[in-house]
Amino acid sequence: MQKNYFDRVHRWGILWNIGALLMLLSIPVLISTYYGAWPELSVLWKVLSKLMLLYWVTAVVEVITYVPMLGAGGTYLSFVTGNITNLKLPVGLAAMENANVRANTEEGEVVSTIAIGVSSITTTIIIAVGVLVFSPVLPYITAENSAFRPAFEWVLPALFGALGASYFAKHWKLVPLPVIVGVIVLIFSPTMGVGTLMFVTIVAAVLGAFVMVKKNWL
Amino acid sequence: MDFKENTFMYAIALGVVAFVTLQSVFFIVKSWKHAKELGIEKEKLKNTVVSSILFTVAPAISILATVIVLANALGIVLPWIRLTVIGNLAYETTAAQTAVEAMGGTLTSSIADKQQFSTVAWAMTIGSIAPLIMLPFVCKKLQTKIGSAVNKNENAAKLGDAISAAAFIGIISAFIARALAGTTSDGAGNAGFMSISVLIVAMVSMVILELVCKKFKLEKLRPFTMPIAMFIGMGSAMLFEAVLPENIINFVWR
């Protein structure tokens, strides 16, 4: 049973994944064809060589980091809709935590997939409505002197504070090591992106947990 | 009419929105059916839906803010498309900036040249598709390995639980470390008074809300404690900026 359901999810996922890839590539093709304006290859290459060095390497780290935690359906959805670290991952984690189910089980799989799917639809609707209806007023809400600006500027500490508190209360012994390692890394490399930093802190936390389980400290 | 915001561009955007929505609906329906087969209560699933929506609203509005920022140079439709598929805040801005600057422009002025516009579209797309190329080859392998490793026996399950908790904590730690000691290349969001205060307010609110739920047996409130704590954290940021002197708000140590 277990194997069957996951197998099916992967099959659907791969099909949607290929569809998404084709759909994505068709966007610049359509734009270039419609406007009769294709990029100059030398310019495009100059830009892509910079971007790909940065983002194709990060992609390898991201895939390895997120795939075990998002579940199968959650992974295929998240990588198509994006905004994983700041949205899909915390939503999936919070849902599994609230529903009291474990990642990498069928229960965890369905709960995180539903949460991430709902989150994707919500994001899509908010962006679409925002663009179509509110785009004239939005600049005022996020403007430098708007009363709401600080709320959105600090949305990430608020999100991860709320998510962190319930995890930390349950597993406090696992907390100090990754936080300290993260701070030390940032002292030497203060602008390191959170995606790369995350890889370091996850490795630290997992190694710490491994040692603690083996020594029966947990 | 601006070629960056004409009917053709809107048609592409709506197509993308339809694709993403369909895929999400497909997976939700399949998971929902299977959840029933597994005997998960409907109440639990409903709570998952409502709390996920609440959790998503605020970050989604920050994503929308990025769309608006990029709209200066690219019109509103291309950023909308890009942030609906794969896009993320940091990546799309960097990609657009790199592309525009390579052609001698800046993100603050509107692109008037169609070739430049299509170059940006190509760069943003190709730069971001690596994960989609990798997933069909690695996703199943990675998850099957991990699944069979943690479901082997009780000891392995215990170790697996500890390790997945640790991995979650590793993720959250990265953000906490950033709030404690991080900085960004543009200087916005440096670690300082605001980042720590908001973090602490959100954490404390979460703990208090959990205790309240426990004490007064408010099981119905429990799924919403996390989004509520997040909103309280965001509200505290507004309050701090409104009432505290500027030198405290702007105090950063990075």
Could you please report the per-residue DSSP string of A178-212?
HHHHHHHHHHHSTT--HHHHHHHHHHHHHHHHHHH
CA distance B24 to chain A (A): 5
Q: Which of A10-19, B169-178, B216-225 has the highest mean pLDDT?
A: A10-19
Residue A3 pLDDT level (bands cut at 50, 70, 90) = low
Residue A71 pLDDT level (bands cut at 50, 70, 90) = confident
Residue B176 pLDDT level (bands cut at 50, 70, 90) = confident
Rounded Cα distance between B189 and B81, Å, is: 26
Instruction: Please state the pTM of the whole predicted model.
Output: 0.81
Q: Which of A8-12, A57-61, B191-195, B203-207 has the lowest mean pLDDT?
A: A57-61
- Smallest CA–CA distance from B103 into chain A, residue: A43
Candidates B168, B93, B13, B62; CA nearest to A150 is B62
Helix segments in A103-146, DSSP class H: 106-129, 138-141
Find out whether B157 and B150 touch, Cβ atoms under 8 Å.
Answer: yes
| Other beta carbons within 10 Å of B187 | 10
Structure tokens at B40: 């998960």
Return the number of CB contacts < 8 Å for A and B: 553
The per-residue pLDDT for B27 is 97
The per-residue pLDDT for B184 is 67
Residue B93 pLDDT level (bands cut at 50, 70, 90) = confident
CB contact under 8 A, B198 and A154: yes
Angstrom CA distances, B85 to B19, B129, B195, stand at: 9, 10, 29
Is B54 an 8 Å CB contact of chain A?
Answer: no
Selecting from B17, B180, B235 the residue whose C-beta is nearest the C-beta of A124 gives: B17
Residue B134: partners with Cβ closer than 8 Å, 6 or more residues away: A59, A60, A63
Find out whether A103 and A74 touch, Cβ atoms under 8 Å.
Answer: no
ipTM above 0.95, yes or no: no
Q: Within 13 Å and on the Cβ side, how many CA atoms surround A175?
A: 14
Is A96 an 8 Å CB contact of chain B?
Answer: no
CB contact under 8 A, B174 and A201: yes
Work out the percent of chain A whose per-residue pLDDT is above 90. Answer: 44
**Mean pLDDT in residue range A213-217:** 84
Find out whether B18 and A114 touch, Cβ atoms under 8 Å.
Answer: no
- Smallest CA–CA distance from B148 into chain A, residue: A104
The residue type of B136 is P
The per-residue pLDDT for B137 is 92
pLDDT higher than threshold 70 for residue B251: yes
Residue A91 pLDDT level (bands cut at 50, 70, 90) = very high
Structure tokens at B151: 């479901």
Structure tokens at A64: 């390895």
Is A61 an 8 Å CB contact of chain B?
Answer: no
Residue B252 forms beta bridges with which residues? B192
Rounded Cα distance between B189 and B152, Å, is: 44
**Mean pLDDT in residue range A90-108:** 88
The per-residue pLDDT for B17 is 95
Rounded Cα distance between A127 and B13, Å, is: 11
Q: Map residue B112 onto helix, strand or coil.
A: coil
Find out whether A206 and B170 touch, Cβ atoms under 8 Å.
Answer: yes
pLDDT higher than threshold 50 for residue A1: no
Candidates B129, B204, B162, B106; CA nearest to A209 is B162
pLDDT higher than threshold 60 for residue B52: yes
Q: Please report the residues numbered 73 through 102 in chain B whose beta carbons come closer than 8 angstroms to any beta carbon of chain A.
A: 76-77, 80-81, 83-91, 94-95, 98-99, 102
Residue B150: partners with Cβ closer than 8 Å, 6 or more residues away: A104, B156, B157, B159, B160, B161, B163, B164
Q: Please report the residues numbered 209 through 238 in chain B whose beta carbons come closer than 8 angstroms to any beta carbon of chain A.
A: 210, 222-223, 225-227, 229-238
Q: What is the pLDDT of residues A130-188, one digit of tens each?
A: 888 876 776 676 677 788 888 878 887 888 888 888 778 888 899 999 999 999 999 99
Q: Which of A11-20, A48-57, B21-30, B45-54 has the lowest mean pLDDT?
A: A48-57
Q: Within 13 Å and on the Cβ side, how many CA atoms surround A7?
A: 4
Residue B103 pLDDT level (bands cut at 50, 70, 90) = confident
Candidates A83, A12, A82; CA nearest to B140 is A12
Rounded Cα distance between A103 and A110, Å, is: 10
Residue B48: partners with Cβ closer than 8 Å, 6 or more residues away: A95, A98, A99, A111, A114, A115, A118, B223
The per-residue pLDDT for B122 is 94
**Mean pLDDT in residue range A81-89:** 86
Which sequence spans correspond to the domains of chain B? 1-128
Find out whether A89 and A160 touch, Cβ atoms under 8 Å.
Answer: no
DSSP state of A133: I
Rounded Cα distance between B51 and B227, Å, is: 7
Candidates B85, B89, B108; CA nearest to B19 is B85
Q: Which of A79-88, A133-142, B40-49, B163-172 has the highest mean pLDDT?
A: B40-49
Question: Which of residues A95 and B65 earns the better pLDDT score?
Answer: A95
CB contact under 8 A, B31 and A13: no
The pLDDT mean for chain B works out to 86
Rounded Cα distance between A5 and A17, Å, is: 18
Selecting from B28, B63, B207 the residue whose C-beta is nearest the C-beta of A127 gives: B63
Phi-psi region of B244 (alpha: psi -120 to 50; beta: other; left: phi over 0): beta
Candidates B67, B60, B98; CA nearest to B82 is B67
Structure tokens at A141: 């809400």
User: Using CB atoms within 10 A of its CB, is residue A152 exposed (0-12), middle (13-18) or buried (19+)?
Assistant: buried
CB contact under 8 A, B138 and A63: yes
CA distance A15 to chain B (A): 9
pLDDT higher than threshold 70 for residue B185: no
